[in-house]
Amino acid sequence: MLVVQDLSASYGESQILFDISLRVPEGQVVSLMGRNGVGKTTLLKSIMGLMRPKSGQVHLKGVNVTARPAYERARAGIGYVPQGRGIFPYLTVEENLLLGLEALPTNKRGLESIEEICDQFPSLRTYKRKVAGTLSGGQQQQLAFARALVRKPTLLLLDEPTEGIQPSIVDEIEQLILGLREQRSMSILLVEQFLDFAMSVSDYCYVMEKGNIVAEGAAGELQQDAIREYLAV
């Protein structure tokens, strides 16, 4: 589904990513772990097309999309839940969900998609008319998920979805990801610092340190004690 090959990226003169290569197979959940500041979010932004890499390539379903803008990648099937949720705080919950359909062709922006996603997130149906910025942090995270899922992407990028979220919502997010994994209808690249959470939902894991991939392997085979050293502050 996704192949990142020898990707390097910089902010001005400061290089953040150094020849990163990874794969997300179709229908699998792949986790990317590491401390704050090692380049995980920069990698997701490069995959989504929100920043241009210095070198390397991004392939989606066998197509080189490295030079394509973010909106074209969204239309090609990438959904993105950014760190900090990135909802539109002055719009209602329903308006946020409608914006999630914008990447689809006009004739496929059916309101039934919103009803289907509200079946997965019942609280959002209750708060449809509520201004999104007044929701709790956990409800905003659910909205960010729903906005990305409403158009049924083939690849979902999740940037630390458990950050600052109450345990009950973390459990709901875990069950949601496990459900998507079981269906095998969507590939997921998950950026996460919570090791136990990442291991519980993932098929395969990568670990980053200072802009490099320093470890990788199947979730059930990696030595967790070694990974904890890369995650420790």
**Mean pLDDT score, 94-110:** 73
pTM above 0.75, yes or no: yes
Question: Looking at the domain assignment, is residue 58 inside a domain?
Answer: no
Question: Looking at the domain assignment, is residue 56 inside a domain?
Answer: no
For residue 37, give the amino acid letter. G
Which are the contacts of 201, defined by CB distance < 8 A and separation ≥ 6?
A: 29, 31, 174, 177, 178, 181, 190
160-210 pLDDT per residue, tens: 888 877 888 788 888 888 888 888 778 999 998 888 888 888 999 999 988
- Domain carrying residue 194: 27-50+69-231
Question: Looking at the domain assignment, is residue 19 inside a domain?
Answer: no
The CATH code of the domain that includes 208 is 3.40.50.300
Q: Predicted confidence band at 7 (pLDDT cuts at 50, 70, 90)?
A: very high
Question: Looking at the domain assignment, is residue 184 inside a domain?
Answer: yes
Question: Looking at the domain assignment, is residue 108 inside a domain?
Answer: yes
Average pLDDT, the chain: 86
Question: Looking at the domain assignment, is residue 17 inside a domain?
Answer: no
Question: Looking at the domain assignment, is residue 16 inside a domain?
Answer: no
Number of compact structural domains in the chain: 1
Q: What is the pLDDT of residue 42?
A: 93
Question: Looking at the domain assignment, is residue 32 inside a domain?
Answer: yes
Proportion of the chain above pLDDT 90, given as a percent: 31
Q: Is the pLDDT of residue 110 over 70?
A: no
